[in-house]
Structures are given as C-alpha cells and as structure tokens.
C-alpha cells in the first residue's frame, strides 16, 4: 500500500495545494481532521542528559564528569528552569521553548529495559511492550482510528525515506517520499566497517581507507563524481539530507489536501566515543537535529498552530563517561515535543536524580515516565482518539499507562 512519489510530483502536489486555497468546510482550522502529527525517530539512542542537562541537580557534575557543559558556557536563553539547561547547540529548540511551543519530557523510556538497538527500536516503533518481531507500527494503527480525510493521494499517512519505517507500516495506506540519489551511510557506519576490516581483512581495510581519502579529496575540490546526494557519508552530506527530508516532510504535511500524519528519522545518535558536548561527535548530531526543528517550523508555518512534532529515541545512554570519551547504551532519556499546538515552555519530569543510588542498575538515568503515556497523551488530546482504542489497538497491553494530560493546547 505504499505510494512512492518523486520529488517533482511532490513539488507539483505542493503547488496544487496552493492553487486551491479553498479548503472543504470539514477541514476548517481547529477540527481534529486538520491536526498534524509528525514523529521523528532518533536512531542510535540519543543521550537525553546531553540534550537537556540537569545543571541544577547537585549530583550532575560529579556523575557526568567529562561530559558536562560548564555553567559558564550556557547562555540565559538555554536555561529552561532551575533544574534543566539545553545544550547550547539547540538554538531553534530554545527559541521555541521560550515561545512556549516546545516541551521536554525527561527521564522517559519505553517499557524496554534491555539495551539492544534493534529490539529497542522495534518496541519504540511497534508500540508493543515487548519485542516480538512486530510487523506493524503504532502510527499506522493510530491512523486507522482517525476519521476519514480527503487527501490528494487518498492517504492520511506519510513517511520520508527510501523505505517505510516500522512505525508507519500496516494496513493504512501511506505516501512515502524518498530523497533523490542514494541515502547516505554515516561516518559512524564507515568507522564501524573500517573496524571490521581492520580485524578481518587488512587488504580491504587499506582499500577502504584509500577510498575514504579519495572521496574527501574530491569533496574538497568540488569534483564529486558520486551518484549520491550531497555525496553521501560526510557529515555535511548527512546534514543536507536531513534538511531536505525535513523540508519535504514539512511541505507535504502542511498542504491542504496532503497527508496529516507523518514519520521520518534521523540516524547516528549512537555516540560511544568522543561525545564532548561542546566539540565532540554529538555536536554535529545535535546541530542537525536543531536544524531539522528550524526547518520544520518554517516549512510548516501555515499549519504550525495545528502541529505537534514528536522526537523520540529507543533509549538513553549511560550517565557516566565510558573509556573512549563517549557513553554506552542506557535507559532513561528525553522525548521532545515542538509545534504551535504544544502546551510548551515546560520540562515535564518526575526527576529521579543522578546520585549513585538513584541510577537504574547503577548506571543509567532511571526512567520515571513511560513514553507511551506521552504518545497516548498526544494521540488523545491532539487527535481525539479515545483511550480504549489507544490501550487496545494502538498501544496493546497499555491499560495501566494513563495518557499524559495537558501536553497540547486545547
């Protein structure tokens, strides 16, 4: 049931939307049918403590050691409240927070308590409490609960990317948009492959390293001959790709007769090494994330007041730094909500603290909020899906998880 549309068709669809400004009465602003929801899956496990640091927690500095942002580096615009500060790379997010259009839920986690990316993402996207090789995603099942809306392609769901992510798979038809060229594999993927070659095939390691060097040269001279957009795997290429994807998603979701419910993802948050929050690998990732937030605000300007954008990740990272200046897989992390419909300017957290005794299994931020409470809160308040449907079909076996209230302006 996937419909692939080309970039040209996307532009055509968008301009067609501009040509017919008179929306059907049923789609008047404020009705459920007109609401937008975009979920951005941050793959690799985002370090929630690096994004929103508990700078007011007396145990923060000792617990995080080399991973802290010094207080002197945090301008007033990044102070969220007495306890939390944003990473100074999150300029757009900070702006939205002070406009009360961004909300951060902290110490949050899915029901998953182990630390495999695959299973973690399965649970995050399937909406089931345990990994079970689920083939459908909670957003697709959510779409099935929504009233019918007339759209150009006849579909309410939308996914950006070369494939359909699990979160959007299912019975409901979904429009998908793929960026031209091959999607990039990240610096991180390259580094891991090089490690594999170094331990298995010196010859291929040498070849691969030479190839990376050549590519760097051709990029530096602008003589790129590769087929990939933004020539792929450089951080710059990945950022360009993320930006293009955000613009496409934003435009499509904001056209009158386009899809309403979308999903996209950003990769590479698995920062096992060199994670210094001010100059390490995480900086580029956070900037990319912040850039996407900024792009969405612009490209969805027309429908911003009807919009919630959710940023979720499979789990968090260890509180303490590991041996390579990074962090390993953890549990508790953040969820971020932005959009004109968000009841923002708040950090929502039942804060467990970072003292040794407070940590989950002695190493991770203890999760005190079930992510499903957040997702169910958005689904019920923003999209009007009744609680029994949410607990039954969308998030099975979640009766005990009450939807979080007041996430959305009503």
Partner 1 sequence: MNAGYLATKRFGLGARPGDVARLSADPRGQLMAALQPDSNISAPVPGFTDIPSMVHAGRAWISKRKEMLAKDTSDDAIKNVRRAIGRNLYIRTYENAAIARASHAISTDQPFVERLVQYWSNHFAVSAGKGGALRALAGHYENNAIRPHVLGNFRDMLHAVVKHPMMIGYLDNRRSIGPNSRIGRKTGKGLNENLAREILELHTLGVNGGYLQTDVTNFARILTGWTIYGPKSPDAYTFWFRKRIHEPGTWTVLGRKFGDHGLAQGEAVLDMLAAHPATAKYVATRFCKHFVSSNPPPTLVARLERTFLETRGDLAELARALVSSDEAWQAERPKLLPPYDFFVAAYRATGAQVEARFFLRTLNNMGQPVWAPPSPEGWPEEDDAWMTPSALVERLDIANTIARRTRLAGSVPSWVQDILGDSLNQNTMLTLQRAESRQQAIALALMTAEFQRR
Work out whether 6 is an interface residue with partner 1 (CB under 8 A). no
Q: DSSP of 354-405, one letter per residue?
A: -SGGGSBTTTBPPP-EEHHHHHHHHHHHHH---HHHIIIIISTT-TTSPPPS
Least spacing, CB of residue 28 vs partner 1, in Å: 38
Work out whether 44 is an interface residue with partner 1 (CB under 8 A). yes
> Among 137, 258, 268, 403, which residue sits at the site for partner 1 (rule: CB under 8 A)?
268
> Among 200, 221, 400, 410, which residue sits at the site for partner 1 (rule: CB under 8 A)?
200
Work out whether 8 is an interface residue with partner 1 (CB under 8 A). no
> Among 21, 30, 118, 220, which residue sits at the site for partner 1 (rule: CB under 8 A)?
118
∠ CA 90-74-61 to the nearest 5 degrees? 105
Tell me what percent of the chain is helix, strand and coil, each rounded to the nearest 5.
Answer: 40, 15, 45
Work out whether 226 is an interface residue with partner 1 (CB under 8 A). yes
Least spacing, CB of residue 47 vs partner 1, in Å: 13
- Name the residue nearer to partner 1 (CB basis): 55 or 267: 267
Stretch that binds partner 1, among 24-32, 46-54, 266-274, 350-358 (CB under 8 A): 266-274
> Among 62, 163, 386, 406, which residue sits at the site for partner 1 (rule: CB under 8 A)?
163
Contacts of 33 (CB under 8 A, 6+ apart): 26, 27, 147, 149, 260
Q: DSSP of 235-295, one letter per residue?
A: HHHHHHHHHHHHHHHHHHHHSTTS-SEEEEEE------B---TTTSHHHHHHHHHHHHHHH
Least spacing, CB of residue 133 vs partner 1, in Å: 7
> Among 99, 100, 192, 236, which residue sits at the site for partner 1 (rule: CB under 8 A)?
192
How many residues touch partner 1 (CB under 8 A)? 46
> Among 64, 190, 317, 346, which residue sits at the site for partner 1 (rule: CB under 8 A)?
190
For residue 297, give the 3-state DSSP assignment: helix
Contacting partner 1 within 132-161 (CB under 8 A): 133, 135, 161
Q: Are strands 174-177 and 157-160 parallel, antiparallel or unpaired?
A: parallel
- Name the residue nearer to partner 1 (CB basis): 144 or 226: 226
Residue 338 φ/ψ, nearest 5 degrees: -130, 160
- Token pair 């580029």 is found at 284
Nearest C-alpha neighbor of 140 from the set 111, 122, 165 = 165
Taking a C-beta distance cutoff of 8 angstroms, is the pair 261, 37 a contact?
Answer: yes
> Among 228, 235, 384, 397, which residue sits at the site for partner 1 (rule: CB under 8 A)?
228
Q: Are strands 261-266 and 52-53 parallel, antiparallel or unpaired?
A: unpaired
Beta strand extents in 9-137 (DSSP E only):
36-42, 52-53, 85-86, 102-109
Least spacing, CB of residue 152 vs partner 1, in Å: 21
> Among 47, 215, 290, 370, which residue sits at the site for partner 1 (rule: CB under 8 A)?
215
- Name the residue nearer to partner 1 (CB basis): 31 or 228: 228
Work out whether 387 is an interface residue with partner 1 (CB under 8 A). no
- Token pair 């579909």 is found at 155
Work out whether 189 is an interface residue with partner 1 (CB under 8 A). yes
Binding site for partner 1 (CB under 8 A): 43-45, 116-118, 121, 133, 135, 161-163, 182-185, 188-190, 192-193, 195-197, 199-201, 204, 207-215, 226-228, 232-233, 267-270
């Amino acid at each position: 049931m996937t419909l692939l549309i080309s970039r040209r068709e996307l532009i055509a669809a968008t301009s067609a939307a501009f040509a017919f400004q008179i929306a059907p009465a049923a789609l008047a602003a404020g009705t459920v049918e007109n609401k937008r929801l975009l979920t951005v899956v941050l793959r690799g496990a985002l370090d929630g403590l690096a994004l929103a640091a508990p700078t007011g927690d007396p145990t923060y500095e000792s617990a995080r050691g080399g991973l802290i942002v010094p207080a002197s580096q945090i301008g007033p615009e990044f102070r969220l409240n007495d306890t939390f500060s944003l990473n100074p790379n999150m300029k757009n997010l900070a702006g939205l927070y002070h406009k009360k259009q961004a909300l951060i839920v902290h110490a949050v986690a899915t029901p998953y308590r182990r630390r495999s990316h695959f299973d973690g993402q399965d649970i995050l996207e399937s909406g089931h409490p345990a990994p079970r090789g689920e083939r459908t995603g909670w957003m697709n099942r959510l779409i099935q609960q929504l009233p019918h809306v007339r759209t150009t392609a006849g579909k309410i769901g939308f996914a950006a990317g070369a494939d359909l992510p699990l979160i959007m798979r299912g019975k409901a038809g979904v429009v998908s948009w793929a960026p031209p060229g091959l999607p990039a594999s990240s610096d991180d993927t390259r580094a891991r492959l090089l490690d594999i070659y170094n331990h298995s095939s010196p010859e291929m390691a040498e070849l691969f390293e030479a190839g990376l060097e050549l590519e760097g040269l051709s990029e530096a001279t602008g003589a790129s001959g590769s087929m990939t957009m933004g020539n792929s795997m450089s951080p710059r290429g990945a950022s360009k790709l993320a930006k293009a994807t955000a613009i496409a998603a934003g435009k499509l979701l904001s056209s009158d007769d386009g899809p309403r419910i979308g999903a996209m993802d950003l990769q590479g948050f698995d920062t096992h090494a060199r994670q210094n929050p001010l100059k390490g690998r995480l900086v580029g990732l956070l900037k990319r994330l912040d850039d996407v937030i900024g792009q969405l605000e612009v490209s969805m300007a027309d429908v911003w007041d009807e919009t919630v954008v959710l940023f979720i990740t499979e789990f968090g990272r260890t509180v303490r730094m590991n041996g390579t200046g990074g962090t390993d897989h953890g549990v508790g992390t953040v969820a971020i909500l932005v959009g004109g419909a968000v009841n923002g300017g708040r950090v929502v957290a039942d804060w467990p603290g970072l003292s040794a005794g407070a940590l989950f299994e002695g190493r991770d931020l203890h999760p005190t909020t079930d992510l499903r409470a957040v997702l169910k809160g958005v689904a019920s308040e923003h999209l009007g899906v009744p609680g029994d449907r949410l607990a039954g079909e969308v998030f099975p076996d979640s009766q005990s998880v009450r939807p979080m209230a007041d996430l959305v302006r009503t």
